[in-house]
């Protein structure tokens, strides 16, 4: 049966109306889809090139007797094994073992410092590790600061020292302290002599970083205070023989290094320093120099030269984190930076994923 001419005529306007109606309905949807695709693509591209990292600590979920662990610095022992110091523990270090996911594996292991008296050193703040002639040594420094006294009394010098620690085949630790190290340090470093008799909150001597510099064959003492014209200060101490007699005769003071820092705001001192081979540079954590000041913790790269400027890395730390220790190592064979938190925690930054 053939359709009449009038039915075709009536059909065309209805078709046009339907097409227009669908166009009205679909056009905004298509436009929205295009915009969403553009936004998603752009945002993905930005994410792919974004390097910013926010470090948030994982709590140890353990107590050091009745106190939180005040983790002040850390060194690598082996793959997935690290050793940190607690400034409230005078005669032991603590082993932190990590699983392949970067989370703590098992409880912390207390490693007593054999050969060291409980009252021989106080306020352990900094650690580093060095290897030479097939031997490995861990060096541990106290803050060398004065101990706050009650009102009306003068501050007293803390029991201070520089420890040389060896790891025995059974994983136990043996330690030696240098007699009279603080006196030698102050007498041979005129840049900090005036600060030696001041409390830390008045700019007094306060060591919080320690790194091994193979090129200088020296231990680099990173100072929280004093500062030098508002900039952080490093005191290098040459070690003639890492395995030689552990006395001041085995040491030589080198000229101090003033780090160039362009940042404005409250003064910042060194809170941790360590050489990281994959960066071919030292990584340095800076934080407020004086208690009560407001200055963020920040991560910097320093190539090691006397005139090399600090370069800030695109990393920030969670508001309540106090990253007072950092080191490099591996976890399940993967390269990492490990940060320890003075408020009782740690965090891993996977270097095969991070773009710093």
Q: Which domains does the chain have, with CATH numbers?
A: 54-350 (2.120.10)
Q: How far is the C-alpha of 111 from the C-alpha of 87, rounded, in Å?
A: 14
How much of the chain is helix, strand and coil, in % rounded to 5? 20, 45, 40
In angstroms, the CA 22 to CA 303 distance is 65
How much is the average pLDDT of 174-194? Answer: 95
- Please report the pLDDT score of residue 197 as a whole number: 93
Confidence of residue 49 (pLDDT cuts 50, 70, 90): very low
Q: Is 142's pLDDT higher than 90?
A: yes
Residue 10 phi/psi, 5° resolution? -70, -30
Give the Cα separation of 351 and 194 in Å (integer).
41
- Whole-angstrom distance, CA of residue 204 vs CA of residue 145: 7
Q: Residue 147: pLDDT band by 50, 70, 90 thresholds?
A: confident
pLDDT reported for residue 263: 66
Residue percentage of the chain with pLDDT more than 90: 73
Q: Quick one: 231 exposed, middle or buried, by C-beta within 10 A (0-12, 13-18, 19+)? A: middle
What value does the mean pLDDT take over residues 244-261?
96
pTM: 0.84
Contact 97/332 with Cβ under 8 angstroms?
no
Residue 303 structure tokens = 């190539």
Looking at residue 47, its pLDDT comes to: 33
Per-residue model confidence (pLDDT) at position 36: 44
Predicted confidence (pLDDT) per residue in 324-335, tens digit: 999 999 999 999
Surface-to-core class of residue 258, CB atoms within 10 Å of its CB (0-12 exposed, 13-18 middle, 19+ buried):
middle
88's CB contacts (< 8 A; 6+ apart) are 64, 67, 70
Q: Return the pLDDT at 152.
A: 63
Q: Looking at the chain, how many residues does it have?
A: 356
Checking if the pLDDT of 221 tops 60, the result is yes
Q: What is the pLDDT of residue 356?
A: 67
Whole-angstrom distance, CA of residue 63 vs CA of residue 52: 32
Average pLDDT across the chain, whole number? 88
Residue, of 259 and 35, whose pLDDT is higher: 259
| Confidence at 184, pLDDT banded by 50, 70, 90 | very high
Q: Residues 27-35: what's their mean pLDDT?
A: 60
Separation between Cα atoms, residue 221 and residue 234, nearest integer Å: 6
* pLDDT score for 26: 66
């Amino acid at each position: 049966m053939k359709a009449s001419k009038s039915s075709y005529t009536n059909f065309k306007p209805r078709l046009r109306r339907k097409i227009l109606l669908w166009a009205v309905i679909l056009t905004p949807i298509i436009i929205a889809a295009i915009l969403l695709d553009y936004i998603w693509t752009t945002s993905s591209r930005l994410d792919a090139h974004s390097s910013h990292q926010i470090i948030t600590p994982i709590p140890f979920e353990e107590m050091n007797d009745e106190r939180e662990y005040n983790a002040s610095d850390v060194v690598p022992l082996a793959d997935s094994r690290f050793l940190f110091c607690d400034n409230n523990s005078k005669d032991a270090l603590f082993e932190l073992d990590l699983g392949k996911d970067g989370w703590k594996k098992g409880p912390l292991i207390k490693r007593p410092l054999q050969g060291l008296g409980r009252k021989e050193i106080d306020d352990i703040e900094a650690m580093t590790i060095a290897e030479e002639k097939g031997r490995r040594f861990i060096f541990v420094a106290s803050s060398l600061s004065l101990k706050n006294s009650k009102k009306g009394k003068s501050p007293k010098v803390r029991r201070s020292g520089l420890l040389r620690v060896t790891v025995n085949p059974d994983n136990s630790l043996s330690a030696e302290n240098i007699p009279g190290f603080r006196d030698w340090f102050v007498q041979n470093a005129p840049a900090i002599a005036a600060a030696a008799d001041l409390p830390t909150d008045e700019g007094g001597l306060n060591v919080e970083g320690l790194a091994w510099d193979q090129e200088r064959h020296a231990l680099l003492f990173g100072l929280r205070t004093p500062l030098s014209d508002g900039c952080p200060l490093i005191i290098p101490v040459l070690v003639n023989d890492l395995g030689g007699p552990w006395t001041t005769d085995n040491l030589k003071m080198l000229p101090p290094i003033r780090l160039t820092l362009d940042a404005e705001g409250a003064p910042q001192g060194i809170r941790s320093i360590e050489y990281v081979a994959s960066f071919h540079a030292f990584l340095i954590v800076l934080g407020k120099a004086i208690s009560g000041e407001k200055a963020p913790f920040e991560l910097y790269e320093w190539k090691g030269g006397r005139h090399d400027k600090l370069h800030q890395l695109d990393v920030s730390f969670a508001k309540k984190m106090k990253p007072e220790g950092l080191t490099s190592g591996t976890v399940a064979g993967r390269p990492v930076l490990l940060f320890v938190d003075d408020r009782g925690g740690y965090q891993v930054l996977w270097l095969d994923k991070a773009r710093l």
